[in-house]
Every structure is written in structure tokens, then in C-alpha cells.
Amino acid sequence: MATPDGRTARHWRHLQAQRRQAESNCSIAQDTPTIQTMWAERLRHLDALQGILPESQQPSSEAPPKESLQPNIYVLVHGNNSTPADFDKLARCLYRSHAPDECVVLQSAGNTGYLTRRGIAVCGTVLAIEVLDFLLRYDVDPTQPRQLSIVGHSFGGLIARYSLVLLQHILSALCITPVSFATLCTPHLGSRRPGGGMWKVYSFATSVGLDCACM
């Protein structure tokens, strides 16, 4: 049998690394059936891709060569009930700040609009799968180091933070180093209930305590 060329061999190893990441994430989600189902479906998808491209198969002469992944990768995650267009200006600035073919920007679209209402766990899983799919579109040579930066706005910052643990293995396998994680107006410590009810209770309790102390 013919030996696969370098590009095909890299893609095969990439698929195997993606599968190991999905297996790890599936085990993490054992107590969350919805999330576990999402990763089980991911595993089936990767198995299908590996069936299409067995290890001994050479690339089709009709298939266009895969584009190499740029050295600087940016993932932009919009906020609650919003759209990827929120980061259009930032994406343009990032492209202008780099030489041609030096960066690529992913404006996350997996949780557009009302889909953010599914909660952090589901949205974070969707984002992780979106990033994994994005990486599969490229020929990634793990001997060439790359850098990853993530920017999240508001609720998007929480989604992005959740997704990080679900990408650890694949980033290591592809020699992609996370170098920057930035969030804008993200409630990492939680937020008050609409109407500020708990704050009012706290203020009332404090004022009563002070009144009693002064008596």
C-alpha cells in the first residue's frame, strides 16, 4: 500500500487528537446527559471522518490542498442575545495589525441570538466544538508553533472561559499556545438579580444592625 504524504499524515494525526479530546470531554460530562450526548455525537462525527480518510489512503488528486493554519489565531465571542457582527470592527483591526497570512479570526456564531439562553455549559460546549471544527479546516503542522487569543464580551466571556478546559488536549497536540484571554464587561463573580432585591435586603439588614448598635 502507498504511504500517505505529509499533509495526509498530519490530517490523520489531527483527527486522532480531536478524537482523544472528545473522549476526554465525554468523560468530564458524565453527570450532564445533555453535554455528554453532544460529545458522543462529536465522536461519531470524527469516526465518520476517519472512515473517509483511512491511514493508508493517499489524498484524492481532485481535492484542493488544505490551507495552512496562520500563526496567530483569534476567537471572538459575543454576548447575550447578540451576534458575531458585534466584533466586526475588532476583527478588521486585528487583520490590519498583522501581515497578510499571519492571522485568522473566528467570530463565534454557534450561540447567536436567543441560543445564549441555553446556559453556560451548553454554550461553552458549542463554542468548543465550533473551535475544533474551525481547526479541522486547516492543515496544521505541529512542528510550527502558533498562538491563540480569546476575547469575550459580557456573557461571551463566561462561555469562552468554560470552553477552555474542553480544548486543552487539542491545543497541546497541535502546538497552539494560549497567550491571551480577555473579557469585556463579563460578570465572572456573578451579577445581582434584576431589580436589585438582594442588595436591598443587604442594605436593610445593615441599616437595622447599625441602628441596634447605636441604641
Residue 3: its pLDDT value, please? Answer: 42
| Model pLDDT, residue 51 | 80
Q: Are 26 and 43 in contact (CB under 8 A)?
A: yes
Q: What is d(CA 85, CA 66) in angstroms, rounded to the nearest whole number?
A: 27
C-beta of residue 33 within 8 angstroms of C-beta of residue 122: no
Per residue in 82-110, pLDDT (tens digit) is: 999 999 999 999 999 999 899 999 999 99
pLDDT interval class at 197 (50, 70, 90): low
Name the average pLDDT for the chain: 86
Quick one: pLDDT at residue 174? 98
Q: Across-strand partners of 153?
A: 184
Chain segment 120-155, per-residue pLDDT in tens: 999 999 999 999 999 999 999 999 999 999 999 999
110: helix, strand or coil: coil
| pTM of the complete model | 0.83
Q: Which domains does the chain have, with CATH numbers?
A: 69-184 (3.40.50.1820)
Residue 203's pLDDT band (cuts 50, 70, 90): very low
Q: Of 131, 199, 135, which Cα lies nearest the Cα of 159?
A: 131
Question: Please, which pLDDT band fits residue 54 given cuts at 50, 70 and 90?
Answer: low
pLDDT at 200: 46
pLDDT (mean) for 168-180: 98
Predicted pLDDT at 53? 56
Helix spans in 29-118 (H): 33-52, 88-97
